[in-house]
């Protein structure tokens, strides 16, 4: 799915939202390795990010060419800051009204309102595509993400206890949140 490139002003900085280009595959791999190392709240550690440039190019193209998923990159004053995405369920017709959401920024761009701006745009696009419900999971303890999701209308609807096990032997729950579109 493609969006029209859009610019916003965020506290005096220019934010650009647009689709990814296939020639940005290496940039996205480097980003994933960095953001997964900056927080324990993402799905894996940096050593588990093993995509090749070709795989990442295919990933970008699959998002751009699909009618069911959207990947949006954010740039602040020309610097890549992170991305957000949604993916509609395609398995069964009964699930086709649901879209799963993801977002991650480099730490240096967090806490400035960018996540909220991106999330609003993403939800707007998902609603425009006809999705009726947005869903996501976050790791218990990710206060900023929880606050962001609450502030754009998500509500907690369940938990998976001990969904994440860390190398130090500790666990963290996954929290499910949902929002009608
Ligand atoms: C989670 C994430 C997307 C949030 O985006 P962000 O740009 O940092 O958040 P924003 O600045 O837009 O703030 C969103 C809300 O959280 C609040 N907030 C900001 N920093 C906070 C903090 N440290 N603790 C609690 N709330 C905080 C803001 O006040 C705002 O709420 P409000 O609109 O009611 O004032 C971003 O921090 C991030 O990518 N983190 C690393 C990866 C990650 O955790 N991804 C999510 C996985 S589920």
Query: Is residue 145 in some structural domain?
Result: yes
Query: Is residue 162 in some structural domain?
Result: yes
Q: Specify the pairing of strand 133-139 against strand 6-10.
A: unpaired
pLDDT value at residue 35: 98
Query: Is residue 165 in some structural domain?
Result: yes
Measured in Å, residue 113 CA sits from the centre of ligand 1 at: 7
Angle between helices 114-128 and 143-151 (to 10 degrees): 50
Q: How many domains does the chain have?
A: 1
Query: Is residue 151 in some structural domain?
Result: yes
Domain around 78: 6-180
Where residue 98 sits, what CATH number does that domain have? Answer: 3.40.630.30
Task: Measure the CA–CA gap between 9 and 95, rounded to whole angstroms.
Answer: 37
In this prediction, residues 92-121 reach a mean pLDDT of 98
The pLDDT tens digits for 18-50 are: 999 999 999 999 999 999 999 999 999 999 999
Is the separation of the CB atoms in 74 and 28 below 8 Å?
A: no
CA torsion 65-72-142-46 (nearest 10°) is 70
The pLDDT tens digits for 115-174 are: 999 999 999 999 999 999 999 999 999 999 999 999 999 999 999 999 999 999 999 999
Measured in Å, residue 54 CA sits from the centre of ligand 1 at: 32
Query: Is residue 60 in some structural domain?
Result: yes
In this prediction, residues 86-111 reach a mean pLDDT of 97
Query: Is residue 47 in some structural domain?
Result: yes
Report helix, strand or coil for 47: helix
Quick one: which of 85, 92, 104, 98 has its CA closest to 40? 104
**pTM for the structure as a whole:** 0.96
DSSP 41: S
Query: Is residue 1 in some structural domain?
Result: no
Q: Whose CA is nearest to atom 26 of ligand 1?
A: 144
Task: Measure the CA–CA gap between 13 and 81, rounded to whole angstroms.
Answer: 12
85 lines ligand 1 (CB under 6 A): no
């Amino acid at each position: 799915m493609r969006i029209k490139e859009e610019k916003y002003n965020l506290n005096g900085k220019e934010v650009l939202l647009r689709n990814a280009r296939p020639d940005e595959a290496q940039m996205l791999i480097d980003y994933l390795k960095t953001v997964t190392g900056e927080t324990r709240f993402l799905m894996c550690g940096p050593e588990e990010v093993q995509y090749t440039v070709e795989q990442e190019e295919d990933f970008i193209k699959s998002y751009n060419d699909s009618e069911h998923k959207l990947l949006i990159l954010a740039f602040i004053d020309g610097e890549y800051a992170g991305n957000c995405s949604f993916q509609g369920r395609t398995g069964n017709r009964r699930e086709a009204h649901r879209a799963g959401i993801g977002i991650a920024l480099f730490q240096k761009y967090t806490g400035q309102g960018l996540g909220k701006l991106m999330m609003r745009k993403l939800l707007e696009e998902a609603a425009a595509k006809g999705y009726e419900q947005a869903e996501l999971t976050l790791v218990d303890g990710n206060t900023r993400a929880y606050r962001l999701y609450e502030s754009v209308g998500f509500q907690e609807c369940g938990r998976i206890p001990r969904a994440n096990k860390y190398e130090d032997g500790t666990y963290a729950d996954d929290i499910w949140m949902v929002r009608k579109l």
